[in-house]
């Protein structure tokens, strides 16, 4: 068995695809590409795919990742090229690399993220200091570094719904 880590961007219209639907889309694309996927055992086998921390609906992801398990190795460059004809608008696989099968799970290796927040300008900076470490603030642009496992998107999404935030972009570090 082999483990391939795929790095992707989820932007523009694709940022409105829910995590569950995104996972279904990826599974279907990998099947259509006729990859030598490793399947789970049991009554209802499905491809072994391990996704990272979920990206909330409406948030752009520029360095997201997931692992697929394969029964034999494939050429990663041709995989990335071929994926372009199957992926929906706004989802781009930009890199892939082989990971040792005994490596820690993808969720345990993802520990920090950078959130780039475009604000309407009338936001209280103190509100964001509770969320994480502010690394940059320039009036309408705010960059926060957070520990993923302890971070809740609830407050950010509330501000987005109130239209105090114009856009949110996450980059896994």
Q: Are 110 and 52 in contact (CB under 8 A)?
A: yes
CA dihedral 72, 83, 13, 28 (to 10 degrees): -50
Tell me, yes or no, whether 101 and 127 share the same domain.
no
> pLDDT tens across 44-66, in order?
999 999 998 999 999 999 999 99
**Phi, psi dihedral angles at 69 (to 5 degrees):** -110, 130
pLDDT of residue 100: 93
pLDDT of residue 114: 93
Q: Is 43 left (phi over 0), alpha (psi -120 to 50) or beta?
A: alpha
**Phi, psi dihedral angles at 110 (to 5 degrees):** -85, 110
Tell me, yes or no, whether 90 and 119 share the same domain.
no
Residues paired with 38 in a beta bridge: none
Give the residue from 109, 143, 159 where a domain finishes: 109
Tell me, yes or no, whether 19 and 41 share the same domain.
yes
pLDDT of residue 135: 85
On the 0-12 / 13-18 / 19+ scale of CB atoms within 10 A, 10 is buried
Tally of domains within the chain:
2
> pLDDT tens across 97-144, in order?
999 999 998 888 778 999 998 887 677 777 788 888 888 888 788 898
> Which residues constitute the domain of residue 144?
112-172
Tell me, yes or no, whether 105 and 134 share the same domain.
no
The DSSP code sequence of 102-142 is TSPPHHHH--EEEEEEEE-S---HHHHHTTSEEEEEETTEE
Tell me, yes or no, whether 31 and 104 share the same domain.
yes
Give the residue from 66, 86, 109 where a domain finishes: 109
* The overall pTM is greater than 0.85: yes
> pLDDT tens across 55-109, in order?
999 999 999 999 999 999 999 999 999 999 999 999 999 999 999 999 998 888 7
Tell me, yes or no, whether 34 and 11 share the same domain.
yes
């Amino acid at each position: 068995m082999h483990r391939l880590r795929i790095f992707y961007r989820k932007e523009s219209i694709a940022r409105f695809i829910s995590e569950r639907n995104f996972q279904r889309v990826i599974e279907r694309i990998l099947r259509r590409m006729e990859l030598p996927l490793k399947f789970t055992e049991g009554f209802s086998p499905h491809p072994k795919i391990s996704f990272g921390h979920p990206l909330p609906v409406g948030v752009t992801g520029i360095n997201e990742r997931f692992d697929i398990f394969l029964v034999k190795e494939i050429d990663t460059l041709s995989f990335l090229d071929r994926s372009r004809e199957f992926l929906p608008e706004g989802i781009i696989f930009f890199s892939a690399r082989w990971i040792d099968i005994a490596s820690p799970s993808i969720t345990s290796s993802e520990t920090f993220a950078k959130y780039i927040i475009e604000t309407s300008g009338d936001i209280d900076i103190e509100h964001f200091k509770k969320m994480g470490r502010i690394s940059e603030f320039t009036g309408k642009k705010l960059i926060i570094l957070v520990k993923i496992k302890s971070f809740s998107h609830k407050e950010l999404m509330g501000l987005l719904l109130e239209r105090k935030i114009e856009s949110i972009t996450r980059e896994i570090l």
